[in-house]
Amino acid sequence: MNSSIASRFKGRDVISVLDFSKEDIEYLFKLTDHYLSNGYKEVLRGKVMAVAFFEPSTRTRLSFEAAMSRLGGSVIGFSSEEGTSVAKGEKFIDTIRMLDSYADVIVVRHRYEGSAKLAAEVAEHPVINAGDGRNEHPTQALLDLYTIYRLRGDVSSLVIGLIGDLKYARVVNSFLYILTIFKPKKVYLISHPLLRLREDVRRFVESRNVKVEEVFDINEVLSELDVLYVTRIQKERFPDPLEYEKVKNAYRVTAEITKRCKDDLIILHPLPRVDELDRSLDNTKHAVYFKQASFGVPLRAALLTLILGGVEGVYT
């Protein structure tokens, strides 16, 4: 155990994936590896995690909850505004302030960009961003990168393609930000012209010396890809339903691509999927998205262990 790195995690907020250094992330991955090979220990007994999910979620919330339970801690919270005082008009910051007095860590998801940062300003205890509008979803990016690290090793030699809704998907922003720390060989941004990556995000990624290129057709680059990251069209984030209608069938990745892709291409998807990722791919060796989702528990367990200061108990 490297106690100086461990101490950097203790009590910290996780708002953006850019809050971490490469060394921090590699350390987190080692602890994740440890949990996967050795199982969990109840190092967070007596600790309480609050989940404040103002937006729908399946995997993120449940994997945080499973992680906390595996570590011996307990969970309070809510998974929608219904049934809480938010439905009565309680302000976001009042809800956070209250949870802060009940729990040791707060995991928050909200439709507004900047909500996690605001929560962190109000709360004394650490806040983990589980998705703030179309901005970021840092623990998803950690999990995505962990999947690549685990299955393919060194990221620096890889060509990575992102396909789908690059405009509204927060997972895309966080994934690209983490790639600025790990620097793959090249990134292809594959999207319909109406779903292109936001200019500010693209400029930032390029300013960190990551080679990116936009293409509108996957066939132009398919044979070069080592990793294909597919995203869902974020229907709920379109300000104009007509804009959504124009792109709703813009792309669909099917088993057809396996005829022309690299033999060891891996396909990731944060899930949930709708029609963009065909089930015909599920039984191919390229599909790793369910494995990716399964890594959510050990990765989030490692993060909670470090933030709540339980790491010494893991190795003793």
* Residues in contact with ligand NCD by the rule CB under 6 A: 59-60, 131, 137, 140, 170-171, 232, 270-271
In angstroms, the CA 274 to CA 169 distance is 14
Structure tokens at 269: 């998807």
Structure tokens at 119: 């929560």
Contacts 24+ apart (CB under 8 A), 276-279: 276/164, 276/230, 276/231, 276/232, 276/233, 276/251, 276/252, 277/230, 277/252, 277/253, 278/252, 278/253, 278/254
Closest Cα partner for 184 from 208, 204, 200? 208
For the chain, the 3-state helix, strand and coil shares in percent, each to the nearest 5, are 50, 15, 35
List the beta strands (DSSP E) in 58-167: 74-78, 105-110, 127-132, 159-163
**Residue (270 or 310) nearer to ligand NCD, CB:** 270
Cis peptide before 272 (omega within 30 of 0): yes
In angstroms, the CA 145 to CA 154 distance is 10
In angstroms, the CA 260 to CA 252 distance is 16
Provide, rounded to whole angstroms, the least separation between the CB of residue 270 and ligand NCD: 4
**Residue (27 or 175) nearer to ligand NCD, CB:** 175
153 dihedral zone (left: phi>0; alpha: psi -120 to 50; beta): left
Provide, rounded to whole angstroms, the least separation between the CB of residue 166 and ligand NCD: 12
**Residue (253 or 311) nearer to ligand NCD, CB:** 253
φ, ψ for residue 257, nearest 5 deg:
-65, -25
**Residue (125 or 137) nearer to ligand NCD, CB:** 137
Radius of gyration of the chain (CA): 19
Provide, rounded to whole angstroms, the least separation between the CB of residue 53 and ligand NCD: 10
**Residue (91 or 248) nearer to ligand NCD, CB:** 248
**Residue (41 or 137) nearer to ligand NCD, CB:** 137
Provide, rounded to whole angstroms, the least separation between the CB of residue 174 and ligand NCD: 9
3-class secondary structure, 21: coil
Provide, rounded to whole angstroms, the least separation between the CB of residue 299 and ligand NCD: 12
**Residue (40 or 168) nearer to ligand NCD, CB:** 168
- The DSSP H or E segment spanning 36 is helix 22-38
**Residue (264 or 275) nearer to ligand NCD, CB:** 275
